[in-house]
Amino acid sequence: MKKLELHWQILIALIFAVLYGSLFPEAVQYVSWLGDIFLRALKMIIVPLILASIISGVTGIGNAENLGKLGIKTITYYIATSLLAIFVGLLLVNLIQPGVGADLGLSKQVEDLSAAKDSFGDTLIQIIPVNIFESFLKGDMLSIIFFSILFGFFITQTGETYRTPLTNFFDALFEVMMKITMFIIKFAPIGIFGIVARTISQQSDLIHLIQSMGLYMIAVLLGLFIHIAFTLPMLLKFIGRVNPRKHFHAVATPLITAFSTSSSNATLPLTIDAVKNNSGVSTKITSFTLPLGATINMDGTALYECIAAMFIAQAYGVELTFVQQMIVVITALLASIGAAGIPMAGLVTITIILSAVGLPLEGVGLILSVDRILDMCRTTVNVFSDTCGAVIIAKTEGETLKIE
């Protein structure tokens, strides 16, 4: 008998999880531990995976010139797609005007709003770790990435005696981490069942929320849909010259995992596996671009942040000028770059936009109640954009892929 493909297994698990979570919300603790174990296992491999992946990728790229070229392409793709997403969001929020007449009484208290108050300059400075071991402990992705790129690059600058064993060592480490990944992925259907059952059981007043926040949710979901179903596939087709449908199929498992976990970081091991083994992108490119993408490339978050900030302005009756709206665009880009690839990170970094245009930070409380569901959707778009970036960059580097 032919084995059911993994993403179908996960989808079936997801449906059962929705049923279980809504029918037996009080019995959810009997299954939620399955999700905890799965998430812990994914988190367990992220730091060594990123380290090994980037070092092995950078040593594979070889010299400074190629690394620079690839770096510029990657960053250009990340910024361009995030801006495209933001402009779609801006257009929709101006057309739909979801915040006009919104019920301010729904606002909830949010703690820790100062978390994102560091200026963008500070954030940039903090990319350089003072103690790399502390960064490993804290899971400080940007610092780990920065250190790994430097480390990998300077391996290529050493003599043969050191270069070969070090390169082999990190290639081997990466191989082992990927083997562990494949092992953990086998448990994805069970893990995702546990995660989604709990999420569903916590959404008790979903119907009421949809009634009151419906327009806002429609604006965000429509924007995300346009980005994932039109904008990115167009880029795949016309710049990448690959078949978007085949690519979609190739990365279905990480997409459903992103949807279920709301975390680009936790999904990263599955993303690397799918883009490498199913889409056929080389290790050199996947291992450099995907960890970076999971940390800084967040198209879905950027679009969401733009709509959310404009929604808050509308709800408070503040008319934003053209210049202010452009400030929203730029700060939404920065806020999405600054958001970590973990659940609800985007909700907190909205404060960057709100402070830039002088809106009350408490506005975040207004959108808190529906954040979870939107987070699931925007994380899916974030991860899809990372995979498209790897594919498009691989094609511009002359690679032949399995999805053409």
Binding site for ligand ASP (CB under 6 A): 262-264, 298, 301, 339, 341-346, 375, 378-379, 382
CB of 82 to ligand ASP, least distance (A): 12
Question: 242 vs 266, which CB is nearer to ligand ASP?
Answer: 266
CB of 139 to ligand ASP, least distance (A): 13
- Under a CB-based contact definition with an 8 Å cutoff, are residues 284 and 57 in contact? yes
CB of 303 to ligand ASP, least distance (A): 10
Q: Name residues whose C-beta falls within 8 Å of residue 94's C-beta, 6 or more positions apart in sequence.
A: 310
Question: 148 vs 263, which CB is nearer to ligand ASP?
Answer: 263
Question: 226 vs 258, which CB is nearer to ligand ASP?
Answer: 258
Residue 276 CA to residue 319 CA, distance in Å, equals: 47
CA-to-CA dists, residue 8 to 3, 5, 13, 116, 227, angstroms: 10, 5, 8, 38, 24
- Under a CB-based contact definition with an 8 Å cutoff, are residues 22 and 202 in contact? no
Provide the 8-state DSSP code for 126. Answer: T
Residue 196 CA to residue 202 CA, distance in Å, equals: 10
Cα 52 from chain centroid (whole Å): 20
CA-to-CA dists, residue 348 to 116, 289, 305, 309, angstroms: 6, 25, 10, 12
CB of 42 to ligand ASP, least distance (A): 12
CB of 251 to ligand ASP, least distance (A): 15
Number of helices (H) and strands (E) in the chain: give both, helices first: 19, 0
Question: 55 vs 350, which CB is nearer to ligand ASP?
Answer: 350
Position 229, amino acid: A
- Under a CB-based contact definition with an 8 Å cutoff, are residues 86 and 306 in contact? yes
Question: 356 vs 376, which CB is nearer to ligand ASP?
Answer: 376
> Which residue has its beta carbon closest to ligand ASP?
346
Residue 96 CA to residue 218 CA, distance in Å, equals: 9
CB of 86 to ligand ASP, least distance (A): 13
CB of 374 to ligand ASP, least distance (A): 9
Q: Name residues whose C-beta falls within 8 Å of residue 51's C-beta, 6 or more positions apart in sequence.
A: 136, 144, 148, 173
- Under a CB-based contact definition with an 8 Å cutoff, are residues 195 and 261 in contact? yes
Phi, psi dihedrals of residue 90, rounded to the nearest 5°: -65, -40
CB of 38 to ligand ASP, least distance (A): 16
Residue 131 CA to residue 143 CA, distance in Å, equals: 10
What tokens appear for 303 in the block?
Answer: 């679009």
CB of 154 to ligand ASP, least distance (A): 30
